[in-house]
Amino acid sequence: ALCRPSMGLSASLAKPSTLLPRQTRRSLQDIAITRTGKPIIRLSGGRSSLGGHTVTVFGATGFLGRYVVNRFAQAGCTVVVPFREEMAKRHLKVSGDLGRVVFLEMDLRNTASIEESVRHSDIVFNLIGRDYPTKNFDLEDVHVEGTHRIANAVAKYDVDRFIHVSSHSAHPQSTSEFYKTKYYSERIAREIFPETTIVRPAPMFGFEDRLLHHLASATNVITSNHMLERFRPVHAIDVGEALEKIGLDDSTAGQTFELYGPKEYSMKDIHELVDREILKKRRHINIPKAILAPSMGLLNKVLWWVISSKDQVEREFIDQFIDKNAKTFVDLGIEPGEISNFTYKYLHAYRSAAYYDLPPMTEKEKREEKKYLHVLD
């Protein structure tokens, strides 16, 4: 049993865990032998336990990154967080015990810094991605060249697992530069490191998303395709859980996963869902693509804050495409959440104070004077 990758000692020596009392189950340690033959003590004791994997998360400072870092750091693993901006990574420090979340300064064009970030790790996640081109990095630089450098470093140090996060609808003939470069990022990762696991998430929703919060916060929602694009929104927390399971299960090496929600929506459906939840009506303005796309291209060059991009306008005309050969949540034993069950949780703060629904006052509260009146809007 020791020689089989990911096969736990306890699995062969102990009674089935379901028969053990809870206390005994928590103190069990499981030895896993990695692909390269390294013994890893798998932990079940929480963030202060000693042992576990060493995991590098590129792109940890983004939306999805915190859910991945949190899961591994909470389980007592050492998490290496390559970063490029001091302030963007601070919140990740507290997800693990002292010394367990290790920050390393990294630049996507600096091979030495990338190698430094991966050389002690046994699992590497690449979550780096950009929706729009920036002054210094176009989409090809971020997705293709960036992945090329990371995969090279992973191969050089023969890291056990490499999990590359691509995107839904990645296709070489796509009219969107984003989907096209994501496809080439997958190809280059597999060419360099054939055991790469590819994960393609659908548009994600959650606390820091660019879907629900974009629709809820904009005074005017500007689109080009009358919000007709269709997709299957997925909960970022489910994607985080799936990435953890994939990272810990060596049998997923070399496989492709598409992670999408249980129901298909059009952007218009989501817009209506958001309006209903925030009890407001956001104005929708449709501008033809021939005008909006070039203006976005121009505005992106002169404005120094993020608005949208020419490619994001293009993506409005592409429905989510699902690869039927790819594995999905079912293969990981996860039941994905449905967006309409989470809109209250993520959007209630956008409601006006006029709708602030207080629970009925108790006799004690009626006697005492109310100290604060919260005005949210």
Binding site for ligand NDP (CB under 6 A): 59, 61-65, 84-85, 88, 108, 127-130, 137, 142, 165, 167-168, 201, 203-204
Residue 9 or 332 with smaller CB distance to ligand NDP? 332
Residue 220, number of CB atoms within 10 A of its CB: 8
Task: Between 22 and 301, name the residue whose CB sits nearer to ligand NDP.
Answer: 301
CB of 351 to ligand NDP, least distance (A): 24
Q: Min. distance of Cβ 354 from ligand NDP in angstroms?
A: 32
Q: Which is nearer to ligand NDP, 6 or 308 (CB)?
A: 308
**From the CB of 80, what's the least distance to ligand NDP, in Å?**
14
For residue 115, the minimal CB distance to ligand NDP (Å) is: 15
Minimum CB distance to ligand NDP smaller for 30 or for 258: 258
Pick 6 or 174: Cβ nearer ligand NDP: 174
Which residue, 208 or 377, is less far from ligand NDP as judged by CB?
208
Least distance CB 164 / ligand NDP (angstroms): 9
The nearer residue to ligand NDP, 291 or 307, going by C-beta atoms, is: 307
Minimum CB separation of residue 143 from ligand NDP in Å reads 8
- Shortest Å distance, C-beta 37 to ligand NDP: 31
Give the chain as a 3 state SS string. CCCCECCCHHHHHCCCHHHCCHHHHHHCCEEEECCCCCEEEECCCCCCCCCCCEEEEECCCCCCHHHHHHHHHHCCCEEEEEECCHHHHHHHHHHCCCCCEEEEECCCCCHHHHHHHHCCCCEEEECCCCCCCCCCCCHHHHHHHHHHHHHHHHHHCCCCEEEEECCCCCCCCCCCHHHHHHHHHHHHHHHHCCCCEEEEECCEECCCCCCHHHHHHCCEEEECCCCCCEECCEEHHHHHHHHHHHHHCHHHCCCEEEECCCCCEEHHHHHHHHHHHHCCCCEEEECCHHHHHHHHHHHHHHCCCCCCCHHHHHHCCCCCCCCCCCECHHHHCCCCCCHHHCHHHHHHHHCCHHHCCCCCCCHHHHHCCCCCCCCCC
